[in-house]
């Protein structure tokens, strides 16, 4: 085959163009810090990178959900703590009032404080996070106590005649949040049964103390007031527990909330570990190895300079060069 001058020139220009493309590629990798800047550079790396980014986006969303779950559980725990503290104060007042040395006026003052404590606990039952009531089950837009206030059993059950212990009632159903792939965490505490029992008990206490204000009724004796404590008191049943039993129930519910908080901490740590792992894998998949890339860039530049030098000798001089 006859090799012409034009063929030598064309081959040289093509090789020089390829050399420029290589140097351009290495410059892009050094500038962007990525070994690919478009999917066509390496489809396999691009697809894997997309997968890693999906995992990271999902991780970020789960961490946002964790924050929401912590808010629910922290608010619930704080409210139950105040309920427990209030019940301790109620017990102190009942013990004080059970002493028959108290005058009618002194017991009336105790009655007023218990009335305010009951109103405070009802307010705690209507605790909100944003526009959501935390103790109303899945009926998060409905308060637990309304009108006077009384327990909102009918609305929370969505039936005409409901009970606060109906496990199928919306007011007793769970609110769950996704915290990991395939894992949901209950963040609410159904308050109908718990706050209903507390409110019923305090209503009974108010009713007993109200006899001191009604001249047509016989004032409650110290023994009757003392019977409000413990399960051995008059009228104590499993459905109408005394104060000690109610306080124990509040502590049990709060312990459950605490257990969920501990699990959330474990899940948060797991998400943080996963984020670090996925980020590392994504970096290994697509980040530029600067030492290697700089070495290849210098090598490509040396080859390019050699090509220019050889090419200058291959191309024959033109007529213009002779005239000059």
Domain boundaries along the sequence of the chain = 52-267
pLDDT digits (tens, 9 = 90+) for 33-89: 888 888 877 888 888 989 999 999 999 999 999 999 999 999 999 999 999 999 999
Is the torsion defined by CA of 164, 167, 169, 174 positive or negative?
A: positive
Consecutive H or E run containing 157: helix 153-157
- For the purposes of burial, counting CB atoms within 10 Å of the CB of 79, is it exposed (0-12), middle (13-18) or buried (19 or more)? buried
Res. 160 pLDDT band, cuts 50 70 90: very low
* Greater pLDDT, 58 or 12: 58
Distances (CA, A) of 75 to 17, 78, 134, 180, 188: 67, 5, 8, 22, 10
pLDDT at 234: 45
Query: What pLDDT score was predicted for residue 235?
Result: 47
| Mean pLDDT of the 85-106 span | 85
Residue 264 has pLDDT above 90, yes or no: yes
If pLDDT is split at 50, 70 and 90, which confidence band does 236 have? very low
For domain 52-267, the CATH class is mainly alpha
CB 97 within 8 A of CB 148: no
Whether 184 contacts 269, CB under 8 Å: no
Least confident of 18-27, 246-255, 283-292, 307-316: 307-316
The mean of the pLDDT values for the chain is 82
């Amino acid at each position: 085959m006859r090799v012409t001058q034009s063929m030598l020139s064309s081959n040289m220009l093509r090789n020089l163009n390829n050399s420029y493309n290589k140097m351009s590629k290495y410059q892009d990798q050094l500038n962007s810090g990525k070994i690919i800047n478009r999917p066509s550079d390496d489809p396999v790396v691009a697809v894997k990178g997309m997968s890693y980014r999906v995992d990271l986006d999902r991780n970020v969303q789960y961490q946002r959900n964790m924050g929401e779950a912590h808010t629910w559980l922290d608010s619930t725990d704080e409210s139950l703590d105040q309920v427990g503290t209030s019940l301790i104060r109620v017990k102190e007042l009942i013990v004080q009032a059970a002493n028959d040395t108290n005058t009618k006026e002194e017991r009336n003052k105790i009655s007023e404080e218990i009335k305010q404590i009951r109103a405070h606990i009802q307010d705690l039952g209507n605790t909100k996070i944003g526009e959501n009531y935390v103790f109303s089950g899945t009926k998060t837009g409905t308060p637990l106590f309304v009108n006077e206030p009384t327990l909102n059993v009918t609305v929370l059950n969505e039936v005409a005649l409901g009970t606060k212990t109906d496990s199928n009632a919306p007011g007793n159903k769970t609110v769950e949040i996704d915290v990991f792939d395939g894992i949901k965490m209950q963040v609410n505490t159904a308050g109908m049964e718990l706050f209903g029992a507390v409110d019923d008990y305090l209503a009974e206490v108010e009713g007993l103390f109200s006899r001191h204000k009604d001249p047509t009724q016989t004032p409650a004796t110290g023994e009757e007031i003392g019977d409000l404590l413990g399960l051995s008191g008059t009228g104590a049943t499993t459905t109408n527990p005394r104060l000690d039993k109610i306080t124990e129930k509040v502590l049990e519910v709060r312990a459950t909330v605490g257990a969920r908080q501990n699990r959330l901490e474990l899940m948060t740590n797991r998400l943080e570990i996963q984020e670090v792992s996925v980020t590392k894998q994504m970096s290994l998949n697509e980040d530029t190895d600067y030492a290697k890339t700089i070495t290849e860039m210098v090598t490509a530049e040396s080859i390019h300079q050699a090509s220019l030098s050889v090419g200058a000798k291959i191309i024959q001089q033109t007529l213009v060069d002779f005239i000059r």
